[in-house]
A = this chain, B = another copy of it.
């Protein structure tokens, strides 16, 4: 039997896990044997969603085995965010909502990227295009992904399509969007048992900006000041990461899910780019970025512009 593997990016967030589960479900209903997988551990937020809708986490993999015929990437396309042996496998499809970069194929494929807030919104559309009804469980996973990526519809990445999909899916899933949404975000913002290292890696992504290497880690929090209680330990760990990976900048973004802004900490030679990009002054390596909640739409674009100057 020809097997197709469906997975999201490394350091998977709720969208990467839930979209992989949902898209594999859609493929199976279309009689294509697909298995969901994940490239990293399940976050508390994602686990809350899986528990709520009684769905098991997809299988953890660190490479694509030889018996896999082809793969489908969801929620990412850049090879450095994908499985390590991505260049050795046939990519049959990509379903994504990010910029396209460091991606290529030898043959034509199905590539569906849309500038919406969440991959799950596109997958909901694909169920409709294929005339397959969304089950209660899958609706629960998809609405969880949208809540997570859009910070309960408050992120500037959130489009009308995401809003419409979220309300529609919440109804199928049998949850109240606002109540369940806040519960889900709070589950993810519970950082009480996280080590310093975990805070810096649980949702970290690497970027190439103007020839420099930049890493941006983001966590959601209800009480931002609590996260910075161990600032000295965070700094020691970040400086070590900077040295190991030869980074120009490590930016730690702590996003306040109640007030919808972010307190960031910047270390590395490129720290001044943060000040220039957001018109702030770093004090004790930190600054408050009013209204900034989206790494993709607000942080990466502003920093890329500064590094390209």
Residues of A within 8 A of B (CB): 97-115, 129, 296, 301, 304
Contacts and interface: CB of A to CB of B under 8 A. Distances in A.
A57 to B, nearest CB: 27
Contacts of A301: 106-107
A250 B104 CA distance: 24
B100 A105 contact: yes
Contacts of A304: 106
Contacts of A111: 100, 111-114
Nearest to A125: B129
A105 B99 contact: yes
A73 B296 CA distance: 24
Nearest to A103: B100
Q: When A and B form their complex, which 7 residue pairs have the shortest distance between CB atoms, in order from nearest?
A: A111-B113, A108-B115, A101-B104, A99-B105, A100-B105, A110-B114, A99-B107
B106 A110 contact: no
Nearest to A116: B108
A103 B296 CA distance: 19
Contacts of A296: 108
A284 B207 CA distance: 52
A112 B115 contact: no
A108 B102 contact: no
17 contacts: A99-B105, A99-B107, A99-B108, A99-B109, A100-B103, A100-B105, A101-B104, A103-B103, A103-B104, A106-B301, A106-B304, A107-B301, A109-B115, A110-B114, A111-B114, A112-B112, A129-B129
Nearest to A98: B108
A301 B106 CA distance: 7
Contact of A108 (B103, B108, B110, B113): B113
